[in-house]
Amino acid sequence: MDELTPGTLSVPRGLPGIDPLKLDVGSILSVESRIQEIAFITPVKAPELISVFNKAFSDLTEMVAKVQYELQVAKQGVEKARAICLIDKVPAILSEKGLTSSKSPMGSEDLRNAILALDVDFNNALERVHQIQMLYTYLEGKKQAIDKAYMAVKAVSQDGSGYRHSPDLTVDSYFKKGY
């Protein structure tokens, strides 16, 4: 396995045997660290932050789409592994253990589920789905944070609430107080 560079996310592929999908999230992490700048927004800074958050959102949307595709492929892999286990392995295992009857050659649902729970191929496919789902959720969370940051900057810059000046800090007040 090759080493990942900092800021690279390795996403397992939906099908086994294919190299992981490598996503460069370094720029996303940098943009995410800028969310705190919203607290000190200025008229000069707002357009730049809007642009940065918009680009990050666009990049994340692309990444999420790729991960979502791999997730769907992995889910199909689970169904395929389940079908192979039920059709090819369950009858042989049940027969070998004397757990079949003429009434129920495939055994009970509990027996089938027990065999599935022990099947290595099925469990590997299921684990792949869980890993991809976790990374999908992670990226969706980043995407939501960037979206909220974008909307916050936009709202602040449109209503001017981010850069209201204190009425006490005018030139006239300076001279009226006798400084």
**Residue 161 placed within a domain:** no
**Residue 171 placed within a domain:** no
Note the pLDDT of residue 174. 44
Dist CA 100 CA 145 (whole Å)? 54
SS3 state of residue 101: coil
Note the pLDDT of residue 107. 82
Note the pLDDT of residue 156. 86
Dist CA 155 CA 93 (whole Å)? 63
Q: What is the dihedral of CA 84, 89, 91, 95, to 10 degrees?
A: 180
Per-residue pLDDT 10s for the chain (179 aa) are 445 577 899 999 999 999 999 999 999 999 999 999 999 888 889 999 999 999 999 999 999 999 999 999 999 999 999 999 999 999 899 989 888 887 887 888 899 999 999 999 999 999 999 999 999 999 999 999 999 999 999 988 876 555 444 444 444 444 455 54
Instruction: Give me the number of domains the chain comprises.
Output: 1
SS3 state of residue 7: coil
**Residue 97 placed within a domain:** yes
**Residue 178 placed within a domain:** no
Note the pLDDT of residue 104. 80
Note the pLDDT of residue 108. 86
- Global pTM? 0.80
**Residue 132 placed within a domain:** yes
Do residues 27 and 59 lie in contact, with contact meaning Cβ atoms separated by under 8 Å?
Answer: yes
Note the pLDDT of residue 161. 54
Domain that holds residue 121: 8-156
From 138, 131, 141, select the one nearest 75 (Cα to Cα). 131
Question: Hey, what are 8's tokens?
Answer: 């690279």
Note the pLDDT of residue 103. 82
**Residue 172 placed within a domain:** no
Beta-carbon contacts of residue 78 (< 8 Å; ≥ 6 apart) = 122, 125, 126, 128, 129
Note the pLDDT of residue 175. 47
What CA–CA distances, in Å, run from 66 to 13, 59, 73? 10, 11, 11
Note the pLDDT of residue 169. 43
Question: Hey, what are 50's tokens?
Answer: 């809007």
Do residues 150 and 57 lie in contact, with contact meaning Cβ atoms separated by under 8 Å?
Answer: yes
Note the pLDDT of residue 87. 93
**Residue 53 placed within a domain:** yes
- Helix locations, 87-168, DSSP H: 90-96, 109-118, 120-159
**Residue 14 placed within a domain:** yes
